[in-house]
Amino acid sequence: MPNKLLVALDGSDCGRRALAAAAQHAKLTGSDLVLTYVIDWSPYSFHTPEELSERHERRESEIERANAAVLQPEAAALINAGMTVQTLVRHGKIAETLVELAKELDVSQIYIGRIGESRVRSMIFGTVTAALVQTSPVPVTVVP
């Protein structure tokens, strides 16, 4: 079975650059690509009852948007170039979810763009990429 590379996309240029690096790597090593869009979400947040009742439709539209705007176009281009590509949208804390996916799909490496986060925020919570690097079971490539 070929190696799988997990690429985290978020519609930003950074994500696109991470994908370019991953695609190059995949071509050289004959690996498959898994493109993923993680929608930041916590199962422990608080909502009004009205929001809860609308949650399902909102989730569907979030997934649809991630697929249509980011994952599908990128995947189509790569498939045209003759690569094997899988796409996946999931809700959750970004670093945590990527780690989970890496284990679940048994990937050999994670590619992620360096996400621009505000200084205050990263001072308090740390950055997503740092958290990922700390907890990932496989090598992580952070693309600036």
Partner 1 sequence: MGRLFLTFIVLIAAFGNAHAGIDETINAATAPIAEWVGQVVFFKIPILGAQLPVVVLWLVVGAVFFTVYMGFINVRGFKHAISLVKGDYADPNSSGEVSHFQALATAVSGTVGIGNIGGVAVAVTVGGAGATFWLIVAGFLGMSTKFVECTLGVKYRQEFDDGHVSGGPMYYLNKGFSERGMAGFGKFMGTFYAVGIFIGALGIGNMFQSNQAYVQLNHVAGGALDGLGWLVGLILAAIVFSVIIGGIKSIARVTEKIVPFMAIFYCLFAIIVILMNANTIPQAIANIFTGAFTGEGVAGGALGAMIIGFQRAVFSNEAGIGSASIAHSAVRTEEPVTEGIVSLLEPFIDTIVICTITALVIGTAQVADPSFAGDAKGVAMTSAAFEREFSWFPLPLAFAALLFAFSTMISWSYYGLKGWTYLFGEGDTGQTIYKLLFCAFVALGCVVQLGPILDISDALVFLICVPNILGLYFLAPIVKREMNSYFRRLESGEIKKFK
Least distance from partner 1 to the Cβ atom of residue 137, Å: 16
Q: Count of alpha carbons within 13 Å of 46, Cβ hemisphere only?
A: 0
Supply the minimum distance, in Å, between the C-beta of residue 100 and partner 1.
Answer: 6
- Regarding 41 and contact with partner 1 (CB under 8 A), the answer is yes
CB of 35 to partner 1, least distance (A): 17
**How many Å apart are CA 127 and CA 144, to the nearest integer?**
14
Out of 36, 97, 109, 129, point to the residue binding partner 1 (CB under 8 A).
Answer: 97
What is the three-class DSSP state of 138? Answer: coil
Three-class secondary structure of residue 33 per DSSP: strand
Contacts of 89 by beta carbon, 8 Å cutoff, 6+ apart: 36, 37, 38, 39, 62, 63, 66, 67, 71
Q: Which of 84, 92, 138, 141: binder of partner 1 (CB under 8 A)?
A: 92
Q: Does residue 118 touch partner 1 according to CB under 8 A?
A: no
Q: Which stretch binds partner 1 (CB under 8 A): 7-15, 26-34, 38-46, 67-75?
A: 38-46
**Cα-Cα-Cα-Cα dihedral sign, residues 81, 83, 89, 90:** negative
Binding site for partner 1 (CB under 8 A): 39, 41, 43-57, 59-60, 62-63, 90-92, 97, 100, 104
